[in-house]
C-alpha cells in the first residue's frame, strides 16, 4: 500500500493564492462592467445567442464578442450549449437566476454597480497616494461614482423604505401622512422619490452638495411623476444658514461621508421638532481582525473612498465608512440630542438610529 503524501501549504503560498483570487475577481468584475455597458447581458435576456447574433444585437465587434462570451462561460457567468461546436455556432445564454443580479435595476441582488466603484479607483489612485502622504482628501466628484452609488441604494429605497423600514419607526407614519420632511445627502433622489410615492400628502426637500447628483435626482423625480412634491437643492447640510421647518429629517447612508457630521446633526435638530432618522453602515461595535465579509467591505470602501472624501475640508471628523454605534452616539450628543435609539430593523448592511429630544 502506498501512502499519499500530505501537501502543506505555506503561509506565503496561502497569501499569494488569496491575492491571485482577489485579482481574478477584480478582472472578472471588469468584464461584467463591459457586459453591462455594452448591453451584452441585455441582448441575451430573451434567448441564448450565437456570437455573430449577439454581436449584431449589441452592435459590437464579433471577435471581441467571442472572447467575452468564452471568458464569461469560463467564469461561470454564461452558459454554453455545445462547447465542442465551432466558435460561431455555440449559443451562449444567461444562467437561471442571473437576471436579478445582472439586469433588474430594482433588485437588491443587482451588484453590477460595484464594478463602477472598482473602476473609479484606478482613476483616483494617484490622488489617493498623495492624500495618504499629506493627510488631505480626495473630492467626491473626482470618483464619478454618483450613478453607481445611486444604483446600489435604489432597490432598498424603492422597495423597502416605505414598505418595511419606516413603519417600524415609532410614531413616524402619522407624521408622514401630510406636512413636509427634509432629506440630507439625497444623492440621485431615490429615497425622496420613494417617500413622495408612498405618502401622497407629503412634501420632501432633499439636499446634497453634489450638483451632478441633484441634476440626476430632478430628472428621476420628473420621470416618476413626483417633481411637484419633491424639491432638490444643492446645499451643504452642515451649513448653519440652512433654513426650514420640517416634521422629520432623514439622513440615509451619508453621515459617515461628511467632514462635519456634528454640524449636520445640529442642523437636523434645529430644522425639526420631530424625529431624526439616521441610517448608516452596520459596522461592528468594536474592531476585530476576525472580520466577516461585510466588515471587510466597509473597511475597503473606507480606505479607498469614504475616508478620503470626508477629509476634503479643514477640521474634518475623518469618520470613514466604519461608523460604530458609540461614535454615532457621541456625534448625536455633541449635536444636542438627548436620546439615541438603535431600532430593531434587520438589514445586512445598515443600522437604523432614531435621534430625539434636546439636551
| Mean model confidence pLDDT for the chain | 96
Break the chain down into helix, strand, coil percent, rounded to 5: 50, 15, 35
**Mean pLDDT on 225-241:** 96
Rounded distance between C-alpha atoms, residue 251 and residue 266, angstroms: 13
Q: Which domains occur in the chain, in start order?
A: 11-102 (1.10.10.10), 113-358 (3.40.50.150)
| Tens-place pLDDT, residues 299-336 | 999 999 999 999 999 999 999 999 999 999 999 999 99
Rounded distance between C-alpha atoms, residue 106 and residue 194, angstroms: 12
Over 80: is that where the pLDDT of 7 sits?
no
Q: Which residues contact 296 (CB under 8 A, 6 or more apart)?
A: none
Over 70: is that where the pLDDT of 118 sits?
yes
Rounded distance between C-alpha atoms, residue 21 and residue 259, angstroms: 35
Query: What is residue 39's three-state secondary structure?
Result: coil
In this prediction, residue 1 has a pLDDT band, given cuts at 50, 70 and 90, of: low
In this prediction, residue 64 has a pLDDT band, given cuts at 50, 70 and 90, of: very high
The model carries a pTM of 0.93
Amino acid at each position: 500500500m502506498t501512502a499519499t503524501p500530505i501537501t502543506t501549504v505555506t503561509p506565503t503560498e496561502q497569501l499569494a493564492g488569496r491575492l491571485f483570487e482577489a485579482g481574478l475577481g477584480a478582472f472578472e468584475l471588469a468584464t461584467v462592467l463591459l457586459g453591462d455597458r455594452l448591453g451584452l447581458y441585455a441582448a441575451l435576456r430573451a434567448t441564448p445567442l450565437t456570437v455573430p447574433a449577439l454581436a449584431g444585437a449589441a452592435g459590437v465587434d464579433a471577435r471581441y464578442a467571442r472572447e467575452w462570451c468564452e471568458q464569461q462561460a469560463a467564469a461561470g457567468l454564461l452558459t454554453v450549449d455545445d462547447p465542442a461546436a465551432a466558435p460561431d455556432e455555440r449559443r451562449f445564454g444567461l444562467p437561471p437566476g442571473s437576471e436579478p443580479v445582472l439586469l433588474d435595476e430594482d433588485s437588491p441582488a443587482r451588484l453590477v454597480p460595484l464594478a463602477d466603484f472598482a473602476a473609479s479607483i484606478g482613476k483616483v489612485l494617484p490622488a489617493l497616494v498623495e492624500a495618504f502622504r499629506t493627510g488631505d482628501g480626495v473630492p467626491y466628484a473626482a470618483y464619478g461614482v454618483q450613478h453607481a452609488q445611486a444604483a446600489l441604494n435604489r432597490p432598498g429605497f424603492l422597495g423597502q423604505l416605505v414598505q418595511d423600514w419606516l413603519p417600524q419607526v415609532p410614531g413616524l407614519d402619522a407624521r408622514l401622512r401630510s406636512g413636509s420632511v427634509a432629506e440630507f445627502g439625497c444623492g440621485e433622489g431615490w429615497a425622496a422619490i420613494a417617500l413622495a410615492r408612498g405618502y401622497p400628502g407629503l412634501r420632501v426637500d432633499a439636499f446634497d452638495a453634489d450638483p451632478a447628483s441633484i441634476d440626476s435626482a430632478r430628472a428621476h423625480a420628473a420621470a416618476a411623476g413626483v417633481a411637484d412634491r419633491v424639491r432638490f437643492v444643492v446645499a451643504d447640510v452642515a451649513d448653519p444658514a440652512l433654513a426650514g421647518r420640517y416634521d422629520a429629517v432623514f439622513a440615509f447612508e451619508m453621515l459617515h461621508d461628511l467632514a462635519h457630521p456634528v454640524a449636520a446633526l445640529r442642523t437636523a435638530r434645529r430644522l425639526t421638532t420631530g424625529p431624526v432618522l439616521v441610517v448608516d453602515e452596520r459596522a461592528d461595535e468594536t474592531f476585530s481582525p476576525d472580520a466577516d465579509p461585510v466588515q471587510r467591505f466597509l473597511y475597503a470602501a473606507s480606505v479607498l473612498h469614504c475616508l478620503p472624501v470626508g477629509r476634503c475640508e479643514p477640521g474634518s471628523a475623518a469618520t470613514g465608512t466604519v461608523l460604530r454605534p458609540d461614535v454615532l452616539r457621541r456625534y448625536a450628543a455633541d449635536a444636542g440630542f438627548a436620546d439615541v435609539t438603535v431600532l430593531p430593523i434587520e438589514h445586512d448592511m445598515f443600522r437604523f438610529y432614531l435621534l430625539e429630544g434636546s439636551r
